[in-house]
């Protein structure tokens, strides 16, 4: 395996590592309660997924 003759500077190393783009997650609106939810996830507010109750949530009284 080849070895470098000289040490790569931190600037050169960091420039090589910058070829990505941060993407914020896509949110949808829950069809049951209207809260923002990530795709393919159970709603953390009401416990519904695709219109069906998947997690029983206790109501604070």
pLDDT tens for residues 24-42?
A: 889 999 998 999 999 999 9
DSSP 51: T
Q: Is residue 58 in a domain?
A: yes
Mean pLDDT, residues 53-61: 76
Sign of CA dihedral 32, 36, 39, 44: negative
Q: Check whether 60 has a pLDDT greater than 80.
A: no
* 50 found inside a domain: yes
Range of the domain at 42: 24-61
Total of domains in the chain? 1
Chain mean position to CA 33: 21
CA distance 9 to 48: 52
pTM score above 0.75: no
Strands 36-38 and 27-29: antiparallel
- Asked, for residue 1, whether it belongs to a domain, the answer is no
Kindly tell me the sign of the dihedral angle through the C-alpha atoms of 14, 17, 21, 26.
negative
């Amino acid at each position: 395996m080849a070895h470098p003759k000289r040490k790569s500077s931190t600037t050169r190393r960091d420039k090589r590592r910058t070829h990505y783009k941060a993407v914020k997650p896509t949110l949808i609106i829950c069809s049951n309660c209207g809260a923002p939810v990530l795709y393919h996830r159970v709603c953390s507010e009401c416990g519904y997924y695709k219109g069906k109750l998947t997690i029983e949530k206790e109501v604070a009284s």
